[in-house]
Amino acid sequence: MSESLHVGIAGAGLLGRLAAWQLARQGHAVEVFDPAPDAGPRFRDGFASAAQADAQAQAAGFTAAGMLSPIAELDNAEPALAARGWRSIALWRDIAAALPGQPFFSAQGSLMLAHRADLGSAQRVLDRLRAACASPAWTAASPPEGARALAPAELRALEPAVSGPAHAWLLPGEAQIDAVQALLALHAAASGSDRARWHWGRRVEIAEEGGALRLADGEARHFDWVLDARGLGARPGLPVRGVRGELVWLHAPGHGVRRPLRLLHPRHRVYIVPRPGDVVLVGASEIESEDRSPVSLRTAVELMAAAHSVVPVLAEARILHLDVNLRPALPDNGALVRRDGRCLRINGLFRHGWLLAPALLEEGLALMAHAAAPPQEERTA
């Protein structure tokens, strides 16, 4: 897009902020609307009813563990998702380096772990990953290396803090990003360009094909283009549903965990993700419910017991937050990138938003650039 455009963005979550920063960087003027009171994260502690929790909802992007796991996600997704994931990892590396304060990004691979008694169910996961890596759908992109079994000495060298699991596999090239640092840095960088205006406390009711945003207070704002990045807030225009996810924040000085770890367990999947500042995230449940009320005892016990069984030193960790949010998912659990006239809609990022966002935005901006063509719909898995 060579000319300078005025773009209205509905939603200042993961996609909205990434788009605001990229468009402002390209010389476009952006205005971003979001019902949140400000740009910061808000971690709620103490009891809140479901209604109170809804009213205080924050972007799912803040809750996410920030794992960029194209291989592990092949367990329940198509190779096309993984291909976008690899593209996004390459883009995040450059984005993180370009942002102020350089949010934490690391691509040292991740580990899958299994206790001796759980090898059977772990093998089933590995078989699915192997089959996905061998899929003919990889013809356009080179297939990933897949999971590589580690000998005990290799595991000790890579992750000395891990003790307990008898089996380990390395997923090379997988990455992670600090979601909170990245969201704050995207906001700061876009604001610093003087080409981004943020309208906090303003809810968008409709993102229109004609390039207008209709706000909850009745005002209509007209732009050259609009981007609908409201996640769950895009209802009823899009059939998005929320999938509950619960996650524990721990403070564990000297924990020693170097890369994301996933425990393969027959009943639940648990991951342990190290963050700067001695923080470790343990997640996450996946429950077909739009309940944002606090984390259940069952989830907290399962997550923390599993984490402790893999990294015993976490027994002395202190609990910082128990966080809950809803992942925006479409009926087929696939991502949507669609142009309706002068409105670009990106949604359905589900459990892979950080893994997919840069690649999806790249595709969306390409649709905008080719807008001379008649209106078209692109539905992608």
Ligand X SMILES: Cc1cc2nc3c(=O)[nH]c(=O)nc-3n(C[C@H](O)[C@H](O)[C@H](O)COP(=O)(O)OP(=O)(O)OC[C@H]3O[C@@H](n4cnc5c(N)ncnc54)[C@H](O)[C@@H]3O)c2cc1C
Interacting residues with ligand X (CB under 6 A) = 10-16, 33-36, 59-61, 63-67, 203-204, 229-231, 233, 245, 247, 283-284, 325, 327-328, 349-355
- Least distance CB 16 / ligand X (angstroms): 6
Of 156 and 269, which has the nearer Cβ to ligand X?
Answer: 269
- Least distance CB 337 / ligand X (angstroms): 12
- Least distance CB 151 / ligand X (angstroms): 28
Q: Which residue is nearest to ligand X (CB)?
A: 13
- Least distance CB 315 / ligand X (angstroms): 23
Q: What is the DSSP string of 244-270?
A: EEEEEEEE-TT----S-EEE--SS--E
Of 21 and 157, which has the nearer Cβ to ligand X?
Answer: 21
Distance CA 380, CA 360 (A): 10
Of 139 and 280, which has the nearer Cβ to ligand X?
Answer: 280
Q: What is the helix (H) or strand (E) element at residue 158, kind and residue range?
A: helix 152-158
- Least distance CB 293 / ligand X (angstroms): 14
Distance CA 74, CA 307 (A): 23
Of 64 and 82, which has the nearer Cβ to ligand X?
Answer: 64
- Least distance CB 360 / ligand X (angstroms): 9
The tokens 């640092």 sit on which residue? 181
**Bridging pattern class, strands 343-347 and 336-340:** antiparallel
Complete edge-to-edge strand list for the sheet that includes strand 175-177: 67-68, 175-177, 105-106
- Least distance CB 102 / ligand X (angstroms): 20
Largest CA distance in the chain: 64
- Return the amino acid letter for 364: G
Of 81 and 168, which has the nearer Cβ to ligand X?
Answer: 81
b/e 75-112 (16+ beta carbons within 10 angstroms → b): bebebbbbbbbbbbbebbbebbeebeeebbbbbebbbb
- Return the amino acid letter for 4: S
Q: Which residue from 89, 96, 85, 84 is spatially nearest to 21, judged by alpha carbons? A: 96
- Least distance CB 317 / ligand X (angstroms): 18
| β-sheet bridge partners, residue 343 | 226, 340
Contacts of 179 (CB under 8 A, 6+ apart): 14, 61, 62, 63, 64, 65, 66, 354
Q: Is residue 284 reached through a cis peptide bond, with omega within 30 degrees of 0 on the bond before it?
A: yes
Task: Report yes or no: 148 and 91 within 8 Å, Cβ to Cβ.
Answer: no
Of 119 and 215, which has the nearer Cβ to ligand X?
Answer: 215
- Least distance CB 219 / ligand X (angstroms): 13
Of 37 and 149, which has the nearer Cβ to ligand X?
Answer: 37
Of 68 and 161, which has the nearer Cβ to ligand X?
Answer: 68
Tell me the residue length of the chain.
381
- Least distance CB 156 / ligand X (angstroms): 26
Of 119 and 340, which has the nearer Cβ to ligand X?
Answer: 340
Residue 372 DSSP class: T
- Return the amino acid letter for 284: A
Of 74 and 253, which has the nearer Cβ to ligand X?
Answer: 74
